[in-house]
Amino acid sequence: MYNEQFVNVLIGCIMSHIVIGTLANRQIIKLLHMNRICNLFGIKYPIIQGGMVWCSGWRLASAVSNAGGLGLIGAGSMHPETLREHIQKCKAATDKPFGVNIPLMYPEIDILINMVIEEGVKIVFTSAGNPKTWTEHLHEHGIIVAHVVASTKFAAKCEEAGVDAIVAEGFEAGGHNGREETTTLCLIPAVRQITTVPLIAAGGIGSGESILAAMALGPTGYK
């Protein structure tokens, strides 16, 4: 069970660690509040919760969104009607932006995509598939699209597909990942060199110190 008090404390600790680690420079917090990812998603902090299968339901997603980050419902392995229930409960629990993470490898992907459109979801993270397949369709319905990659090859495909943000997920991430096994701190600068859209760092990032380390490499979101 997740609650807003717990998530508020967690995000507060992360942000305070960033300040302490940078000589209490308030400009760092100002930059975090005004970066490309915050502007893109309409959130206070550029901290994005992972859309984990059967872990990231409406309770966690709404708590993170209410605390100022971006909560994600993990749609992987969810029956379509189960996903609909989570989306509706999340909308009732928060008036802040939240999104749905949809792995593209599942057989009912067309049903899931149309469901998030019907339910008025404004942010979708896609993964485990070709970003070109659904990005244009989602854009036609006013949905912001971010795609998760584990290599520069697929990052380039994301840019070609017109996604709004790229998640560079290193091998430290939990769950399935790329066969290249590139670590986060190696992947981030490589992806940044070949892309121009907002970049989100992911994989082994779970503290203020790890966010600070990733910040030095140029991404403006942390997942």
- In this prediction, residue 76 carries a pLDDT of 82
- In this prediction, residue 162 carries a pLDDT of 95
DSSP letter (8 states) at residue 47: B
Structure tokens at 39: 């502007």
Percent of the chain with pLDDT over 90: 50
**Which range is least confidently modeled, 11-15, 81-85, 136-140, 184-188?**
11-15
CA proximity to 110, closest of 86, 85, 75: 75
The residue ranges of every structural domain in the chain are 4-165
What is the tens place of the pLDDT at every residue in 141-192? 999 999 999 989 999 999 999 999 999 998 877 766 666 678 888 999 999 9
How far is residue 55's CA from residue 20's CA, in Å, rounded to a whole number?
31
CATH class as words, domain 4-165: alpha beta
Q: Is the pLDDT of residue 214 over 90?
A: no
Whether 71 and 49 have beta carbons less than 8 Å apart is answered as yes
- In this prediction, residue 190 carries a pLDDT of 94
Which is higher by pLDDT, 163 or 6?
Answer: 163
Q: Is the pLDDT of residue 194 over 70?
A: yes
Task: Output the average pLDDT for the chain.
Answer: 83
Q: Is the pLDDT of residue 218 over 90?
A: no
Q: Is the pLDDT of residue 13 over 70?
A: no
Within 10 angstroms of residue 25's Cβ, the number of other Cβ atoms is 12
- In this prediction, residue 208 carries a pLDDT of 79
Identify the band that residue 23 occupies on the pLDDT scale cut at 50, 70 and 90. Answer: very low
Strands (E), the chain: 71-74, 98-103, 123-127, 144-149, 165-169, 199-202, 221-222
Identify the band that residue 8 occupies on the pLDDT scale cut at 50, 70 and 90. Answer: low
What is the tens place of the pLDDT at every residue in 36-81? 899 999 999 999 998 787 778 889 999 999 999 999 999 887 888 9
Which is higher by pLDDT, 13 or 162?
Answer: 162
How far is residue 154's CA from residue 183's CA, in Å, rounded to a whole number?
15
- In this prediction, residue 39 carries a pLDDT of 92
Please list, residue by residue across 179-215, b when 16 or more beta carbons sit within 10 angstroms of its beta carbon and e when fewer do: eeebebbebbeebbeebebbbbbbbbbeebebbbbbb
Residue type, 126: T
